[in-house]
Amino acid sequence: MPKAAVWFSFFSLLMLLSSPACAQLSLDVIEKLVQSNFSVAHISWQDLKKAAAAPDSAPCLLFDTRAPEEYHTSHLRAAIQVDPQMPAADFIKTYGDTLQGKHAVFYCSVGYRSSQFAQRVQHDALKSGARSVANLRGGIFRWYNESNPVFDAGGITDNIHPYDPFWGKLVRERKKNKIK
């Protein structure tokens, strides 16, 4: 899809979210919009959780494409923070050997930045030996909203970076001790 169409879609979504209809819109709508606008595979939180729990989970390599302050607040276990503006050539130069035989999964808050990044590096990552390249559908917000653990430097945390107050409305408040 042309870049202008992607921006129009997101601008339209922003206009809808700023209206009273906001209560009726959800992360589901954003997931569908992201998935329809990017030609990269999308993996559900359930499938990622199964893959991470499997005895051969080593083939999964997680990349967090959010800003460092977002990553430091919380991230998925063992995720590597990468600059979402990093050129594909620099990504391959840094992580190309690490990608050999791995399923590369990218995520951000809701999936937009990570889909954009994954789509940009997909061809080169596969050429470098990655088994697959995918975006985590719904990003860390969906992962967190489904009561999955997130981590900071000290271990499991209940904190989640909202990106900003507007997008933070998509994060459900977590009840203590409800991590699955």
Q: Does residue 91 belong to any structural domain of this protein?
A: yes
Query: What pLDDT does residue 15 have?
Result: 53
- Work out the percent of the chain whose per-residue pLDDT is above 70: 82
Judge whether 179 lies within some domain.
Answer: no
Calpha distance 85→88 (Å, rounded): 9
* Segments of the chain with pLDDT less than 70: 1-25, 57-58, 175-180
Q: Nearest Cα to 159, choosing from 100, 72, 90?
A: 72
Q: How many domains does the chain have?
A: 1
Query: Rounded to whole angstroms, how far apart are CA atoms 172 and 98?
Result: 34
Distance CA 110, CA 170 (A): 9
Q: What is the pTM of this model?
A: 0.84
Range of the domain at 153: 3-168
Report if residue 136 sits inside a domain.
Answer: yes
**pLDDT score, position 9:** 59
Inside any domain, residue 19: yes
pLDDT score for 166: 85
Shortest CA distance to 2 belongs to which of 34, 38, 42? 38
Q: Any idea of the CA torsion for 166, 170, 173, 179, to the nearest 10 degrees? A: -140
Residue 157 lies in a domain: yes
Q: Which residue has the tokens 């130069």?
A: 93
Question: Residue 17 has what pLDDT?
Answer: 53
| 66 contacts: CB under 8 Å, gap ≥ 6 | 75, 81, 84, 108, 109, 113, 140, 161, 163
The answer to whether residue 25 is domain-embedded is: yes
For residue 109, tell me if it sits in a domain.
yes
Q: How far apart are the first and last CA of the chain?
A: 37
Can you give the pLDDT at residue 174? 76
The answer to whether position 180 is within a domain reads no
Contact partners, residue 171, CB within 8 Å, separation at least 6: 141, 144, 145, 160, 162
CATH of the domain at 94: 3.40.250.10
pLDDT of residue 177: 47
